[in-house]
Amino acid sequence: MNYKQIVTAFFLVFSLLSCSKDDGNTPVPLNALATPFASTASNVTNTSFQANWVLVPGAESYLIDVSTDNSFSTFVTGYDALSNSGSTVAISGLSPAMAYYYRIRAKRGVEVSNNSNVITVKTTGVAAEDPTFLKVKANALANPFFVGVAVKAQQLNTGSAYDVVLKNEFSSITAEYEMKMDPISTGSGTYNWVAADKIVKYGNDNGINVHAHVLVWHNAVPNWLKDFSGTDAEFALEVKKYITAVVTHFAGKVKSWDVVNEAVDDNGNMRNTVFLTKMGPNYIKDCYQWARDAANAAGDTNLLLFYNDYATSTNINKQNKVFAIVDDLKASNLIDGLGFQMHNTYLSPAKTQMEADINRAVAKGLKIHVSELDIQVNQNNDITTFTNERKLAQKDKYKEIVKIYNALPAANKYALTVWGFKDNESWIPYSTDLNHPGNDWPLLYDNNFEIKSAHTGFLEGLD
Ligand code: XIL
């Protein structure tokens, strides 16, 4: 080998060596870091678990995320990319009976792999009940009662913010309109159960009481029945057929039915409805009898039958007429409870008026349902924003009615139901039914799912 050949050979060997060795200046392409595989958690307790994963070749460390939602939009404190060099880490400081999710990334220098698969872990134990939730506080009372809310089928989507609040706060539901005659009865002997079934199933699946509303109401008569051209006796048979079908369909799935709603007018007379005109004053009793018979025939001998009406605390003529109807039904053992709608305002009714009205029903041994509570603060359209003064007045009024209800004897308690929980979902603002002239804020939550002072008032009423 001459000198030239030696130099060439030297450069050849050197350049080959420098290809296989990292000299610190030129990064050497290694294989990309593999995505780690997260394996099942171990040592699960009520406040901790051990997260496990399979090691990845070449990884120097691992990053562990733990979240309470499987999209990892937030992280459990201390577990946002927690670094660990082993194949396991103890996760602690958790809450009992809660679902947690974890995932792992591998790390080498600045290189980070993709996220692993997600592992779900449910801690053991019993969930701590938050006493600032209405139903939790009501359930803890010496004489508990259902805290109800009116719902619409389209609101009941598992996992939504609405669904979370509903399940946290309420132990009973009432359909706001989808269990009325108009939406269910599409013709003689034909029914649309879709929305009503969804509501009842939601209650049944989630351990939430279902109060059914309402079989007979002059404001929800389907056109085919309004325009019925048969005889009065045939009309009565249609009503009987409807009540029988609906009570049978939901037997064992609902705890109670409002059978007749608002049968008394504001002068204290029987309201002049198609039912009164075609069936005569005995129609109320007939409807209750048909409902009772259908329930018994379906094997539900515990169904509670309610009469439901509004403004009875302030309108004494109306109150008297309602109690005359109640007495008549009671004499035939056809009524179990009375619903007081309580579409109130921050000024009315007065405490003593509500107490006197409700106590009349207590004296008759009836179950009491405050069935549609909401409290208007702008019934005269004199405010354009929800003022602090009205907030506090509304809070006091919620507290007052809850206190009245909570003081009832155990045997008379059934449910206190609010007519929706978010202001922007209330029927009150600009309601043509009510002649409500402007905006309003009648419920317990604002439009952003934040509790209002009204909610605090409700809670204080349970003290
Ligand atoms: C109302 C609902 O809130 C509205 O959404 C619907 O359009 C009409 O009915 N008394 C009752 C309830 O018994 O059924 C009414 O609900 C409100 C007045």
DSSP 288-302: HHHHHHHHHHTT-TT
Q: Please tell me the distance from the alpha carbon of residue 418 to that of residue 147, in angstroms, as a whole number.
A: 8
User: Which of 149, 154, 177, 258 has most ligand 1 atoms within 8 Å of CB, for mutation?
Assistant: 177
Annotated catalytic residue, options 169, 176, 178, 262: 262
Q: For each of the chain's 463 residues, which pLDDT tens digit applies?
A: 555 555 455 544 444 444 444 444 555 456 789 999 999 999 999 899 999 999 999 999 999 999 988 889 889 999 999 999 999 999 999 888 888 999 999 999 999 999 999 999 988 887 768 889 999 999 999 999 999 999 999 999 988 999 999 999 999 999 999 999 999 999 999 999 999 999 999 999 999 999 999 999 999 999 999 999 999 999 999 999 999 999 999 999 999 999 999 999 999 999 999 999 999 999 999 999 999 999 999 999 999 999 999 999 999 999 999 999 999 999 999 999 999 999 999 999 999 999 999 999 999 999 999 999 999 999 999 999 999 999 999 999 999 999 999 999 999 999 999 999 999 999 999 999 999 999 999 999 999 999 999 999 999 999 9
Q: For the domain that residue 213 is a member of, what is the CATH number?
A: 3.20.20.80
Does 28 reside within a domain?
Answer: no
Q: Catalytic site residue 262?
A: yes
Residues 197 and 299 in one domain: yes
Q: For the domain that residue 107 is a member of, what is the CATH number?
A: 2.60.40.10
Residues 346 and 241 in one domain: yes
Instruction: State which residues form the domain around 107.
Output: 37-122
In three-state secondary structure terms, 362 is: helix
Does residue 340 line the site of ligand 1, with CB under 6 A?
A: no
Does residue 341 line the site of ligand 1, with CB under 6 A?
A: yes
Neighbours of 152 (CB within 10 A): 16
Residues 76 and 171 in one domain: no
Q: Please tell me the distance from the alpha carbon of residue 256 to that of residue 252, in angstroms, as a whole number.
A: 10
Task: Quote the DSSP letter at residue 127.
Answer: P
* The dihedral formed by the CA atoms of 295, 300, 301 and 302, expressed in degrees to the nearest 10: -110
Does 395 reside within a domain?
Answer: yes
The domain total for the chain is 2
Does residue 426 line the site of ligand 1, with CB under 6 A?
A: no
Q: Catalytic site residue 176?
A: no
Q: List % helix, strand, coil for the chain (3-state, nearest 5).
A: 35, 25, 40
Angle value at C-alpha 256, between 292 and 169, nearest 5 degrees:
175
**pTM for the complete prediction?**
0.78
